[in-house]
Amino acid sequence: MKSLADGLPPEIARQIHPDWRKNEAAYWAVRDQLLAQYRDQWIGFADGTVIAVASTPLEVFLAVQQSARHSFVIRVGHEDEPWYRIRRTNFAYDTGYPSAALPVMSAEFRLASGSTGLLLDRVIPDTGADTTTLPWSDCQQLHLDPALGVPGVISGVAGGMAVTMGFLIWVWLDGQEYPCQLQADFAGQERILGRDVLNRLDVLFRGPAREVVVNP
């Protein structure tokens, strides 16, 4: 069976840790045996066994990061479906309409909890995005290592799927740190803060005032 990682850009696929590929192949060897117990759940699979189980991929990411075993992460029974849906439809702005401003914010993205991170502006708080995405160029500035990432699949609202790399990082906003299930975007250039972070915040969109207020 073709590896999920082979859908990545070749220069990225070559950097995937060999243990992740071994865990992926081992999962498929026993997948049918796992269906009865784990169907519809997200799991982390490494060294021939399930090491994490949760209802969301972020919970699994948090659990498997501690193991350092390059786990294969998947939703059992839904392997052919996209992991996340990201709004990809773009519209040109009507610059003559004064209230059509795009809500954006600044956020600090951290490679490790408690560390100094990279402050990025023009981050779009998007309630239509399941998870946070950054262009690969930003990920490179964060020094994210593909060998430590988890290949996954995203889809736009109009369909189509693309293979991405997932990383557990942290976002600093309004004096507090939040876990972030970041997906590297190899095609787009938008910075999107998804519901993996937004659902942990109170966010007020003040359209007439053209401002986003975090934890008002």
**Residue 148 covered by a domain:** yes
What global pTM score does this model have? 0.77
Are 109 and 210 in a shared domain?
yes
Q: Name the domain boundary from 44, 79, 114.
A: 79
Alpha-carbon span 36 to 168, nearest angstrom: 29
Higher pLDDT, 61 or 93: 61
Tell me: the pLDDT tens digits for 122-173?
A: 888 888 899 999 999 999 999 999 999 999 988 875 567 888 999 999 999 9
Question: In the chain, how many domains are there?
Answer: 2
pLDDT at 84 (0 to 100): 79
Examine residue 128 and state whether it is found in any structural domain, yes or no.
yes
Residues 135 and 191 in one domain: yes
* DSSP per-residue letters across 75-108: ETT-TTS-SEEE--------TT-TT-PPP-EEEE
pLDDT band at 95 (very low <50, low <70, confident <90, very high): very low
Q: Is residue 88 part of a domain?
A: no
> What's 189's domain CATH number?
2.40.70.10
Amino acid identity at 51:
I
Whether 118 and 20 share a structural domain = no
| Domain span holding position 20 | 4-79
Cα separation, 88 vs 189, in Å, equals 11
Report the pLDDT value the prediction gives residue 140, as an integer from 0 to 100: 96
Same domain, 139 and 65: no
Query: 71 with 110, same domain?
Result: no
